[in-house]
């Protein structure tokens, strides 16, 4: 995608995706560190895009690096059914008006008043921000498109920075990440990959539990209006092949090298399914190749997925900013 062509630049979502590189570069690390956790158990909650990539990327990174904290995530409504008195809660809501998050904060006040709640919002004058003990207000600015983009990445960076610092991890190289993110967004997607995806009635995403594939599944619904499904880990070869159709497509996010042969056997040869991948290396499938940045791959995988989805929407003549049913705030608090 490129802002130099009107077919892209006329959409808010494309402009906001491109703004994400600047959001990364300008991220205020020192301000974020003022919101560092103090407890050993941390719940990262929210709904939809405010939880999938930000929370799950943080949890996966923590598991891989051996963080001292126990990091968990649940949707806000399910979290209210859990015992939270030994947790510190971070509640992300771009609008600050997400009804489930408001209810969870109220629940904490009633059932576990000792729990500290940190809001992560784009709107400081909002119920979530005002009810929380403290609020980190994003610098990305308001999003006009229904599908959240730049806010998702800033939320993820916030968790990334405070948790890495708390565990003696490396500082995020914001300049390198910003440059690579912009490069990935503007790299042309092979026409054959776009053609296959446009023709597919269903787009599957398979990958780790770091939120990338799951977030792209949601974005596929919002941006391309196609049905989509997230296949965790290697689930793609553990039964779902029974109902897959040859005209569908699977997007592998950084596939496990040892699993590529089995995926080809079961899905490409067995089902006749089209399979592509997003990775920092060449795979046996048609690959959207991204730069390698140690510890930062999920951000670039997400950017590559955005790029692909925009190309699908443009090729299908879809108004990327105006889905028929999806709303900016899925379940808005009123009261």
Q: How far apart are the first and last CA of the chain?
A: 41
Q: How many helices (H) and strands (E) does the chain have?
A: 13, 10
For the domain spanning 28-171, the CATH number is 3.40.50.10490
Task: Give start-end residues of each CATH 3.40.50.10490 domain in the chain.
Answer: 28-171, 177-315
Residue ranges for the chain with pLDDT beneath 70: 327-328, 333, 335
At residue 328, the pLDDT reads 65
**Inter-residue contact 186 to 233 (CB < 8 Å):** no
At residue 327, the pLDDT reads 64
Cβ partners under 8 Å of residue 191, min gap 6: none
Domain 177-315 has CATH 3.40.50.10490: yes
| Residues forming beta bridges with residue 88, ordered by sequence position | 42
Quote the percentage of the chain above a pLDDT of 70: 99
**Inter-residue contact 234 to 259 (CB < 8 Å):** yes
**What DSSP element (H or E) covers 105?**
helix 99-111
At residue 275, the pLDDT reads 98
Taking only the tens place, the pLDDT of each residue in 313-323 is 999 999 999 87
Report which DSSP code applies to 190: P
Mean pLDDT of the chain: 95
């Amino acid at each position: 995608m490129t802002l130099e062509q009107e077919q892209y630049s006329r959409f808010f979502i494309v402009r906001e995706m491109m703004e994400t590189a600047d959001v990364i570069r300008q991220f205020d690390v020192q301000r974020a560190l003022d919101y560092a956790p103090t407890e050993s158990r941390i719940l990262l909650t929210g709904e939809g895009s405010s939880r999938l990539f930000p929370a799950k990327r943080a949890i996966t990174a923590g598991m891989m690096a051996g963080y001292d904290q126990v990091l968990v995530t649940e949707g806000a409504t399910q979290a209210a059914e859990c015992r939270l008195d030994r947790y510190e809660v971070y509640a992300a809501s771009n609008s600050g008006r997400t009804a489930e998050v408001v209810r969870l904060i109220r629940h904490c006040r009633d059932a576990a008043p000792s729990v500290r709640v940190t809001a992560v919002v784009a709107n400081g004058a909002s119920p979530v921000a005002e009810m929380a003990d403290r609020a980190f207000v994003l610098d990305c600015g308001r999003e006009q498109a229904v599908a959240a983009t730049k806010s998702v990445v800033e939320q993820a960076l916030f968790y990334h920075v405070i948790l890495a610092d708390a565990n003696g991890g490396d500082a995020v190289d914001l300049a390198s990440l910003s440059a690579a993110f912009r490069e990935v967004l503007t790299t042309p997607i092979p026409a054959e990959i776009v053609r296959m995806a446009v023709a597919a009635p269903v787009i599957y995403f398979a990958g780790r539990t770091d939120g990338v594939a799951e977030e792209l599944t949601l974005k596929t619904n919002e941006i391309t209006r196609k049905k989509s499904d997230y296949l965790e880990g290697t689930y793609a070869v553990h039964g779902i092949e029974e109902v897959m159709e040859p005209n569908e497509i699977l997007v592998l996010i950084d596939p496990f090298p040892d699993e590529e042969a089995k995926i080809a056997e079961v899905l490409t040869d067995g089902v006749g399914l089209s399979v592509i991948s997003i990775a920092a290396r060449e795979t046996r499938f048609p690959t959207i190749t991204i730069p390698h940045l140690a510890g930062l791959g999920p951000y670039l995988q997400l950017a590559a997925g955005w790029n692909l989805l925009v190309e699908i929407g443009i090729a299908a003549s879809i108004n990327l900013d105006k889905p028929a049913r999806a709303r900016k705030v899925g379940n808005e608090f009123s009261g």
